[in-house]
Amino acid sequence: MKIAVCIKQVPTRDTQPRVNDAGTWIRDDDATFEMNEPDAYALEEALRLKEKHQGEVVVCSAGPARVAQVLREALARGADRAIHVQSDALVAADAFAVSGALAGAMGDDHFDLVLTGLQSDDHGFAQTGVILAERLGYSHATIVMEVEADSAAKRLRVKRELEGGWFQWIGLPMPAVLTIQSGINQLRYATLKGIMAAKKKEIRAVAASDDAASRLTIARLYAPEKTNRTRLIDGPPAQAAAELLRLLREEARVIA
């Protein structure tokens, strides 16, 4: 089974970011970076499927040169090789652009299965995997909690998380794209042997395809301003209570 895993490098959770001069994204120089947590679970699931069915796990990522850090980490955990779509423009790109860049780089490999995390910890679009499936012409399923693969029959049976604590089992043909929910498995970490082996594994660098332009533009990014303001509600108690309830529901939106 030939499996691709799309991973993203995101700012670490304890980063205190500052907005860049253009006001469209954070300053890279101020941030430290790590592998997107949902993508780490997707990688672990791919490695487990490889151990069960044999085959190859290829990690793919799009972004500037620093993205090689998370690709090396994935190789150290057990992936076989990596594809790096190099482009500084993809740092703050939307899901359409990122999926286009990945699809252009992955298409010739004809993967049986493509796994992504459910969403990224920075943008949180939860769209990249779905759009990628459309671009590749693959079937897809989202919010996946369990994967059963029949490599001989080229079929998958997956468990999806629904609302209200419900789950759904569905079957779909391969090739397919699955977006993996965090917590699906227990993550493994790179061993010293794996770190040494990763240095010899291939990272193939490719240029972003022409159709990797964003369709979503960030007009302005800013930190919420902290203000201290007291608002007085005048009138009889019943009227004041009704107005307070309206404000909590319609403006503060803290009650339904």
In angstroms, the CA 118 to CA 127 distance is: 8
Amino acid 91: pLDDT = 82
Amino acid 42: pLDDT = 96
The percentage of the chain sitting over the pLDDT mark of 70, rounded to a whole number, equals: 99
Amino acid 225: pLDDT = 77
Note the pLDDT tens digit of each residue in 78-106: 999 999 999 888 888 888 999 999 999 99
Domain boundaries, the chain: 2-207, 228-256
Mean pLDDT of 232-250: 90
The region, left, alpha or beta by phi > 0 then psi within -120 to 50, assigned to residue 170 is beta
Please indicate, yes or no, whether the overall pTM of this predicted structure exceeds 0.75: yes
In angstroms, the CA 251 to CA 174 distance is: 48
In angstroms, the CA 162 to CA 78 distance is: 31
Residue 193 pLDDT greater than 70, yes or no: yes
**Helix, strand, coil fractions of the chain, as percent rounded to 5:** 35, 25, 40
Amino acid 211: pLDDT = 60
**Residue 140 corresponds to which amino acid?**
H
At 14, the pLDDT band (50, 70, 90 cuts) reads: confident
CATH ID of 2-207, from 3.55.10.10, 3.40.50.300, 3.30.200.20, 3.40.50.620: 3.40.50.620
Note the pLDDT tens digit of each residue in 42-84: 999 999 999 999 999 999 999 999 999 999 999 999 999 999 9
Write the DSSP assignment of 83-130 as a string of letters: EEEE-GGGTT--HHHHHHHHHHHHGGG--SEEEEESS-SSS----HHH
Amino acid 23: pLDDT = 79
> Which region among 131-145, 164-178, 225-239 has the lowest average model confidence (pLDDT)?
225-239
Joined tokens for residue 65: 């040169």
DSSP H helix total and E strand total for the chain: 6, 11
